[in-house]
Amino acid sequence: MRSSSQDESRGFLLSQAFNHIRKHWLTLLLLVGSLVAVNWIVTHKRAPGAVTVIEAQGMDMTAMRAPVGTQPVSIDLAQPGTLGGGTTLPATVEAFSDEDVVARVPGRVSKVLVYPGDKVSAGQVLALLDAPEYAAEREKMSAMSGAKEAEVLSADREIAHHRNILSKAQATVREATLARDRARTDADAAALELRRAREEVATKESAIREQEALLSYAEKNAARKMALYKQGAVSQDESQSAERDRDAAQARVRGAQSERASAEQAVLIAEKRFTSAKQMVSEADAAIEGAKAEQGQAEEGIAQAHADASARKFEAQAAKAEVASASAFADYRELRALGRGIVSERVVSPGTPVMAGQVVLRLTTVNRVRVQADVPESLANSVQDGNLVEISSGAKRGKAKITSVFPRVDPAARTFRVESIVNNEDGHLKAGMFVRMTIGGGESALSVRSKAVQLDDSGSFVWVVRQKTGTGESDWTCTMHPEISLPGPGKCPKCGMDLTQRQKGGSLFAHRQPVETGRQGASRTEIKSGLHEGDQVIWKGLDDLIEGTPVRVEETSKPDAEPASISDMSAMPEMAAHEKKRVPASSHKTTPKVDYTCPMHPEVHSDKPGKCPKCGMDLVKDEKSS
């Protein structure tokens, strides 16, 4: 039954399908024809390089790199050289420092030990003042300081004395505590012995009462036996036996009484021992209290002695400070030089009274001098701390460095001042002397062509040529399928495109190198940091360079034979334009022009539309040129 019903259902569905096909046969025919036409077009009319959907899904887009061409550039070698002949300016020699030797205390000049022109050293005594009151004050303060030191020693001895007392009191407390403990032990033992003696007395008294009861019975029995004997009722032996029992009872009573007396004597002895032990405990307690009182007094004495000693020490320190102050004032009678120099002037003569603060001598430091020159403001950008200069005086010349550039320009003369500290051990340069300062004369510095130095928001930089590491070998690959690698030209086995040559290593590329610039000449700029001697710096062909752009060196230039002087820098319009030029950090744009290129082969360029000679695709307008 189930099989027949299924056959009927299947037959019904087939009939329905045939009916649907008969009704829509034209639509189905058109659909099949469209699929066949599309398949034929995709297979036979697909542009070279196009891929199917399946191929596109299987491609690794992260591994694809658009082939780029090499950009021709001209390079300049970074190397040391001079930037100009320098600028010579008049300069004046100033003393490195002037020192006024002044009297710090009032007195009379007793001796002047130097004369103008004499060389002096640091700490040397130059003059003496007669001021005996300061010496007397120093002696007085020294004596007072000695007395205070003696008081400090006395206070320390007092502390030691009280500490000795404290130690003895503590020892006494320990000994009295031990004695009290022993007395308490003896008292406890005496109390125990007394209690036992009293118990023994009670026992003896009980024994006496018992023996007295027996004695009473024995006496009555002996009297009765005697009466019966007299009556003849008992024998004489029985009467005598009763008498013996009576006598024995009497003896036992006397023995018990004697033992009770011995026990009572023991009680008395125990009571005396107990009383003596309690007395010893009381005496030990009293000794402890006395020792503790002495200990407390000793501790109070130590605290007081410490306070006194602290006060004495403070007084001694104050006395030492007064001694130091008095000694300083006494030493002020000797006028000394603070540093090396030459005596330039003697203001007062021996025997002249002076007041505190009055100048006695003047010194000038000559082992180093300051050479100052006024520089035209046009050189403001090229003169800075550390620049080498040449100082000339007559036939003598010497090298130095600019140590200070004054920040203010004279509005009238339009100059600013620079200073160079020069060693002058032989003393040939004298304060006030006229000399000449040559700035930038013959200085050697690492430099490159100024056109190579670019500027953006992050600072100055240049493009240098770098060499990729590799074997230098090449293969042929497909632009769409970079995994293809063949030793020679041909067609891609996957898409049929023409294979292109691929360099495996050793090619040149452009690298962006930040630099720190310094002085500038007419055509070259000093590089302070960022480059090394011999680095290949691109100065021509900078347009469209980005990090990693392949380049081809067409020209290697040499530095100009006669670089311009620094002083001519501001007059050169091309340098002024370079100073104002600002470029984006990533690229350098040129004048736009219409250019057509292949999407698959960007190295192909044309100035008009057409077909790519490699793949046959239509050329498109390059967005960079529009």
The parent domain of residue 553 ranges over: 68-83+443-470+505-558
Same domain as 208, residue 109: no
Report helix angle 236-331 to 132-231, nearest 10: 180
d(CA 107, CA 84): 61
Determine, yes or no, domain membership for 563: no
d(CA 368, CA 427): 9
Which among 421, 439, 457 is the end of a domain? 439
- Name the nearest CA neighbour of 353 among 526, 38, 562, 129: 129
Same domain as 465, residue 431: no
What confidence score (pLDDT) does residue 576 get?
Answer: 33
Report helix angle 2-23 to 25-45, nearest 10: 70
Strands 508-514 and 459-467: what pairing?
antiparallel
Who contacts 527 (Cβ-Cβ below 8 Å, separation ≥6)? 78, 445, 446, 447, 448, 462, 515, 516, 517, 518
Determine, yes or no, domain membership for 326: yes
Same domain as 408, residue 283: no
Q: Strands, E, within 424-523: which ranges? A: 434-439, 444-449, 454-456, 459-467, 474-477, 500-503, 508-514, 516-520
CB 197, CB 263: distance < 8 Å: yes
Same domain as 379, residue 278: no
Low-confidence ranges of the chain (pLDDT < 50): 1-2, 48-49, 61-68, 505-506, 559-593, 626
Same domain as 238, residue 140: yes
Who contacts 149 (Cβ-Cβ below 8 Å, separation ≥6)? 316, 319
- Name the nearest CA neighbour of 449 among 103, 83, 191, 122: 83
* Secondary structure element (H or E) that encloses residue 552, with its range: strand 551-557
Same domain as 274, residue 247: yes
- Name the nearest CA neighbour of 460 among 571, 559, 558, 581: 581
Same domain as 193, residue 124: no
Same domain as 456, residue 396: no
d(CA 597, CA 618): 9
Determine, yes or no, domain membership for 584: no
- Statement: the pTM of the whole predicted model exceeds 0.75: no
Task: Report the chain's terminal Cα–Cα distance, integer Å.
Answer: 81
Copy the structure tokens of residue 194. Answer: 């007394």
d(CA 376, CA 145): 66
d(CA 438, CA 91): 10
* Residue that the structure tokens 């002096």 belong to: 120
Q: What CATH number corresponds to the domain at position 117?
A: 2.40.30.170
Which residue type, as a one-letter code, is found at position 442? G
Determine, yes or no, domain membership for 210: yes
Q: What CATH number corresponds to the domain at position 450?
A: 2.40.420.20
* Residue 90 CA, distance from chain mean position: 49
Which among 558, 577, 597 is the end of a domain? 558
**395-400: which pairs have CB atoms within 8 A and are 24 or more residues apart?**
396/428, 398/422, 400/371
What confidence score (pLDDT) does residue 50 get?
Answer: 54
Determine, yes or no, domain membership for 116: yes
Determine, yes or no, domain membership for 281: yes
Who contacts 265 (Cβ-Cβ below 8 Å, separation ≥6)? none
Same domain as 388, residue 290: no
Which residue type, as a one-letter code, is found at position 132? P
d(CA 259, CA 257): 5
Same domain as 266, residue 372: no
| Number of domains comprising the chain | 3
CB 504, CB 487: distance < 8 Å: no
Query: In the β-sheet with 605-606, what is the strand arrangement from edge to edge?
Result: 605-606, 596-597, 620-621
Q: Strands, E, within 242-339: which ranges? A: 334-336
Same domain as 297, residue 165: yes
Q: What CATH number corresponds to the domain at position 312?
A: 1.10.287
d(CA 315, CA 146): 11
Determine, yes or no, domain membership for 173: yes
d(CA 195, CA 271): 9
Same domain as 361, residue 291: no
Determine, yes or no, domain membership for 37: no
What confidence score (pLDDT) does residue 178 get?
Answer: 84
Which among 304, 332, 360 is the end of a domain? 332
